[in-house]
Structure 1
């Protein structure tokens, strides 16, 4: 993989960080500064932004990119060597617990539920005098 010097944000992850002069400063119709002030402001903004950004990236960019590279390497290591095997162990144990729970429910709860079902199936309701008899 090579470094793309033209399109440095191909996945558009920093689309919210608009720092062009037109994205930050704008004069609406009906109120304008002098043309020379607007042009000088444009030059000062871009010069200040570019110089400050380049100085900060020269001073800090390499250290910060090294830090983030190590951070993401640590996260990948942790996911591959720690989290994924732990989740696999957890899934194996949960499968065993599911079998225990199923056996306990079938042995203890199923007879009680069947008895309650038989008991309630014998209930009948009469509707008024000489009315119809309903069985549930």
Structure 2
């Protein structure tokens, strides 16, 4: 399977548009549910067991994979959809009725807090650091080499 893909890619060498289309198709085809018999039973081609055993084990593998997928999907799809619906419903409710009102409340209280903070900074912090800067500006540092 991979050898054919590599040879197809080499054949397309030099045509960027076709290579991009080929890679997009290859990425679309990659899936966890596409497990082949050869991916699980790794008998090399030179050491296959008897044909009947190989064909039977391949048929059993495909049948069991198909049946278990159907059974698991039947029993898990509806409960998982139900749980996902509940979770996303709760998250939507919390976002609409808790998070957004808190953010809007903060946005409404920030302008008066900004005015108060600016006034306090201008009254206390600004003059203090201005005076400190003037006091420390008279200090000279000289380096002496021995």
Q: TM-score interval w.r.t. the shorter chain? A: 0.5 to 0.7
* 1:21 equivalenced with 2:36 (yes/no): yes
| Alignment map for 1:1-136 (pairs within 5 Å) | 17-21=32-36, 24-25=39-40, 27=42, 29=44, 32-34=47-49, 35-125=51-141
Give the CA deviation at 1:93. 3.0
The CA distance in 1 between the partners of 2:41 and 2:80, in whole Å, is 33
**Aligned partners of 1:96 and 1:32: how far apart in 2?**
81
Partner of 1:116, secondary structure, is: helix
**In 1, distance between residues paired with 2:33 and 2:112?**
54
Q: Which has the higher strand share?
A: 1
Change (3 A) 1:124 1:67: closer
Q: CA RMSD in A?
A: 3.1
- Count the aligned residue pairs: 115
Change (3 A) 1:36 1:94: farther
Give 1 or 2: higher helix fraction.
Answer: 2
User: What TM-score do you get using the length of structure 2 for normalisation?
Assistant: 0.59
